[in-house]
Amino acid sequence: MAEKTILTTDIFHTLFNSMDQGFCVLEMIHNETGKPADLLYLESNPAFDRIAGTAVTGKKVSDFDGRLQSFWFDIYQNVLNTGAPARLEYKAVETGCWYAVFVSRIGEEGSKQITGIFTDITERKLADERTAYFVKLNDATRYIQNPVALQQIAMQVLGEYLGVNRAFYGELQDDDTLVIGPGYADGLPPIEGQLSIDDFGSELMGIFNTGKNVVIHDLYSDSPILPTVKAAFDGIGIRAAIGVPLVKSGKAHAVLSVHQSEPRKWTENEIKLVEETAERTWAAVEWAKTAAILSESEQKYRTLFETIDDGFALVELERDASGKITDIIYRETNPAFELHTGLKDVIGKKVTGLLPNMSESVLKIIRQVADTGIPQRNEYYQVDLGRWYNVRHSRVGGPESAYVVAVFSDITARKNAEKELNDFNTLLETQVAERTATIRKNENDLRDTNKHLQLIINQLESFNHIASHDLQEPLRKIQIFASRLSETGQDDLRRGVFLEGIQNASGRMRNLIDDLLAYSRLGSKETFKRVDLNKTLEQVRNDYELLIADKKAVIESDHLPVISAVPFQMRQLFANLVSNSLKFSIRNPVIKISCRVAKGHDFESTFPLKPEMEYVQITFADNGIGFDNEYKDKIFYLFQRLPAQEKISGTGIGLSIVEKAVKEHQGFIDASGEKGTGAVFTIYLPLKQK
């Protein structure tokens, strides 16, 4: 039982501290005559302390207010006497907040303790007051057709509601003059007539044109306030003010302002109320002006209405409870309306019956114009009529008006001409693009052909070099040695020397021919297959097994990937690079082969690697004779032999074979070296061929 009591207590304690309503327990204190004199706070929750602005438990009401308003004692004492709860609503003067209060007695008759529950109803009360204010404003101005009288009545309703010293509505003329009509004044002299904007400074006009309000709580302490504005306001007794511009089409046309002779902390609700009053006053004044102008110039309007070339329609909007437009009724049209639409006898008829396929976008435009009062001009295609129109929609009257005017012209001929022109331009652009693409392709093909022709020319020159030198040199030696052998009187030793010379020369010629055949074969179209580069390297090791052993060479290699390649070309590539390292060595050769697989964008390379394509980077590094880097771009030329290589046998074709094999696989190769230290060859090959 005790545990259950503790649990219940904890639940109520949690509720007590977390509830949004303020809650307190008070005890009535009577004076010596038995009359209520004070109240003692026995307990309060955090929400009540927030309402009071401080913790109140254990304190008296008189500690805060000095004295309590007498009606509270009457209410509390009546609850204690009768035991009947009391409900009331009151406004706290200090904060301006409204509260709904429920008071009840604790205990039986004779108890001096009561509870109070305080619920903040400020938003509801402000909304009620705001609604009542605008109902009063609307009732006061509804039937007034004179714009000046309308301004005066509206300012009187606003001024009395806010309790300000002055309220006026002024219209801006020529960007430098404010024309103020009769307004409201109580405690400050009224302002009426024409005022120069220069008296307040051009900066103020600039602020109004942006649509920003000017709100001053205290002219002397607010910062920043423009010096010219401060001096002008001070001169007419203003300490606090709100100025709301009426901006239409990016320009201020009118200003509604309220003034206070003493500092005043304007609330957001008050500022918003002034803003909405300004909009409503603007709409009502403009409607009154429009009505007056229409009344004065009815004959001119009718003449214009009957003779203008543009179509004209006055329509009334039907809305549902949510404000959505459900239909549109034609109330008046001019003769040009029938000319442009082909529709007859439309007065009193609804759009849904005449133009059932009117688009939602057009209805949205009409709704925006009706809601905002801002005219809009648009071009749109009317499906039911099969015509294009240029239409300007304008609201007739104020915010509550259900009427919109449409002035329009038939632009079907222009739209058809524009479409034909656009279609022609599109066709022309397509043809130009296609021709440009063809020209660029031809240029690229021609560029590739020129490169290929240049390569062929270079190869022809190299073959000329072979025919004139490299191939003739062994033949010349064979002829010389054969001639010597045919001479009489040669001993066996000399004949052996001549035969060895013939064998060496013929061997060089055979190597040269084999390399030329290998190089020429690389250009033939062969099928790409899956090639395990580890097996390719092993085959090359076996081919050069004796030479590797003879030179005590060491070949170190990472694990190599399987790639899409031509097996013969990969074998030629590995064979020539390994052979090159073995051939051009000055010590026991050490050949290191490393690799890395990644996408093109992951490599730091100057080659144009495709960012999303996977490549294998293979590096061959040796400790051979190396070369000067000034020759790095020449070593891949056909039959190119560097100065340091002249004393070492070779054809000058090996690295050309390597480069050609790399290019046949859409790859790239680079070389670097240091004389006497070694050479490094870096190759990039796609993992897969497309």
pLDDT in tens, 117-142: 998 888 888 888 888 888 888 888 88
Strand segments, DSSP code E, in 533-600 are 554-557, 562-565, 590-599
Higher pLDDT, residue 662 or 205: 662
CA distance 443 to 22: 85
Cα–Cα nearest to 244, from 179, 168, 189, 150: 168
pLDDT at 646 over 50: no
pLDDT of 230: 81
pLDDT at 555 over 90: yes
pLDDT of 134: 85
Interval 10-26 mean pLDDT: 79
Interval 139-146 mean pLDDT: 84
CA distance 37 to 456: 119
Question: In the chain, pLDDT over 90 holds for what percent of residues?
Answer: 21
Mean pLDDT taken over the chain:
82
Q: Tokens 């050609």 label which residue? A: 660
Q: How confident is the model at residue 503 (pLDDT cuts 50, 70, 90)?
A: low
Q: How confident is the model at residue 433 (pLDDT cuts 50, 70, 90)?
A: confident
pLDDT of 598: 93
CA distance 300 to 219: 51
pLDDT of 628: 83
* Proportion of the chain in helix, strand, coil states, percent, rounded to 5: 45, 25, 30
pLDDT tens figures, 562-611: 999 988 888 888 988 998 888 888 788 999 999 999 999 999 988 999 99
The answer to pTM > 0.95 is: no
Cα–Cα nearest to 243, from 288, 189, 286, 191: 191
Helices (H), 163-297: 202-209, 227-235, 268-296
Interval 452-478 mean pLDDT: 56
Cα–Cα nearest to 679, from 601, 594, 621, 592: 621
Q: How confident is the model at residue 5 (pLDDT cuts 50, 70, 90)?
A: very low
Question: How does DSSP classify residue 631?
Answer: G
pLDDT at 516 over 70: no
Q: How confident is the model at residue 475 (pLDDT cuts 50, 70, 90)?
A: low
CA distance 459 to 475: 22
pLDDT of 439: 86
Q: How confident is the model at residue 67 (pLDDT cuts 50, 70, 90)?
A: low
pLDDT of 650: 47
CA separation, residue 529 to residues 291, 541, 568, 613, 659 (Å)? 90, 22, 10, 18, 20
pLDDT of 468: 47
Peptide bond before residue 643 is cis, with ω within 30 degrees of 0: no
Q: Are 288 and 146 in contact (CB under 8 A)?
A: yes
Cα–Cα nearest to 317, from 408, 407, 401: 401
Strand segments, DSSP code E, in 566-677 are 590-599, 614-621, 668-674
Please state which of the ranges 311-315, 519-523, 580-584 shows the lowest mean pLDDT: 519-523
pLDDT at 235 over 60: yes
Q: How confident is the model at residue 681 (pLDDT cuts 50, 70, 90)?
A: very high
